[in-house]
């Protein structure tokens, strides 16, 4: 496997938390390489346009995490279960799309190209380390340097406020920088297609390219908004934990991740259903940031998203699942 392919896949894996939108009782999805994954309560379908122009798809039944594990039906905990499942399905969809991209559709080649099994495992390990270093270690170290230069920043509130601002700045700068890559630009177009099609479905109007293209590309349940809310909630939580050494601060930032993730999920869920509420204002920066992570799709890209939705809906009807419109 070439270094270019490895780095390309690494960039896409970094986008998974930003591109996915998961909710057990709602329709949501995720952009992948040249395609879209759509998820219904009990069903999953990923559709990808191959280099030959053909649309290929993969469908499967997916039980809710709260149905498999009763503990995960409760607030906060359900967010962790949903996120873990969404990331797992996202990796599966990404692998399917990457394999489709490697398949040039040549009839003369008998051996189908696929990513080696170890590739995705290495990508997950790299991604976790990247997240911890870039969004936990680096902001904390930079804040400590600034606090040593300016002692007024050593207070509990001031220190964590600066740490949070640096983390948000890194997040936005990273998104803007990676959005310049042509490959990621296309993923962001498919991200926009996914949102438009979900909006079209939620409106109750017949799902079509023409109808979907009338909607905006930013959606309150998007992973971009979720990441932004996580960072805002993190800032507030760290202010309440009185630790003083660098090691203790780093450990707390890692230990509180499950709790912060669960609380953030509940907030996003609330905001999606009550878009005019005060708490929904906390998700507004995430919607603004989606101007970076979503782009207007072409009709061909929108058609792929519709293909994925139709596949998920057809399988869902067979499962007898109940859909709830946010």
For the record, the structure tokens of 182 come out as 């042509």
- Compute φ and ψ for 274, nearest 5 degrees: -130, 75
Q: Is 52 helix (H, G, I), strand (E, B) or coil?
A: coil
User: What CA dihedral angle connects 38, 39, 43 and 45, to 10 degrees?
Assistant: 20
pLDDT tens string, the chain, 326 residues long: the values are 455 666 666 666 666 665 555 554 467 788 888 999 998 878 889 999 988 888 999 988 877 776 777 777 778 888 777 777 778 888 888 888 888 876 655 444 444 566 666 777 788 888 889 889 999 999 999 999 999 999 888 888 999 999 999 999 998 898 888 888 888 889 899 999 999 999 999 888 999 999 999 998 887 777 777 788 888 889 889 988 888 899 999 999 999 988 888 888 887 777 666 665 666 666 677 778 888 888 999 999 999 999 999 998 888 887 665 544 33
For residue 56, what is the enclosing H or E element? strand 55-61
Residue ranges covered by each domain of the chain: 3-319
Write out the H or E segment, with its range, that includes residue 37. strand 35-40
Residue pair 57/46 in contact by the 8 Å Cβ criterion: yes
Dist CA 153 CA 160 (whole Å): 9
Beta pairing class for 43-49 and 28-32: unpaired
- Rounded Cα distance between 260 and 247, Å, is 19
Q: Is 76 helix (H, G, I), strand (E, B) or coil?
A: coil
Residues 239, 143: contact at Cβ < 8 Å?
no
């Amino acid at each position: 496997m070439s270094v270019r392919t490895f780095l390309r896949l690494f960039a896409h894996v970094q986008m998974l938390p930003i591109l996915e939108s998961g909710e057990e009782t709602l329709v949501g999805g995720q952009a992948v390489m040249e395609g879209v994954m759509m998820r219904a309560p009990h069903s999953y379908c990923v559709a990808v346009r191959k280099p030959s122009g053909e649309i290929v798809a993969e469908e499967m039944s997916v039980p809710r995490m709260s149905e498999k594990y009763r503990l995960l039906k409760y607030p906060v905990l359900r967010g962790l279960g949903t996120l873990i499942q969404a990331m797992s399905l996202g990796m599966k969809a990404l692998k399917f799309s990457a394999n489709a991209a490697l398949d040039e559709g040549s009839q003369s080649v008998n051996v189908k190209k696929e990513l080696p099994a170890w590739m995705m495992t290495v990508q997950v390990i790299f991604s976790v380390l990247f997240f911890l270093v870039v969004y936990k270690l680096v902001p904390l170290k930079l804040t400590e340097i600034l606090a040593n230069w300016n002692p007024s920043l050593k207070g509990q509130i001031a220190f964590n406020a600066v740490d949070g601002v640096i983390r948000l700045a890194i997040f936005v700068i990273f998104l803007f920088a990676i959005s310049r890559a042509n490959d990621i630009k296309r993923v962001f177009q498919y991200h926009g297609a996914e949102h438009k099609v979900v909006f079209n479905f939620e409106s109750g109007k017949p799902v079509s390219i023409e109808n979907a293209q009338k909607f905006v590309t930013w959606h309150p349940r998007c992973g971009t908004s979720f990441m932004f809310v996580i960072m805002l909630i993190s800032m507030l939580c760290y202010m309440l934990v009185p630790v003083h050494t660098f090691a203790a601060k780093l450990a707390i930032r890692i230990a509180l991740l499950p709790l912060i993730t669960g609380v953030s999920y509940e907030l996003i869920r609330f905001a999606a259903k009550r878009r005019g509420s005060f708490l929904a204002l906390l998700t507004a920066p995430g919607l603004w940031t989606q101007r970076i992570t979503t782009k207007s799709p072409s009709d061909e890209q929108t058609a792929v998203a519709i293909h994925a939705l139709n596949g998920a809906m057809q399988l869902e009807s067979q499962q007898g699942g109940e859909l709830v419109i946010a």
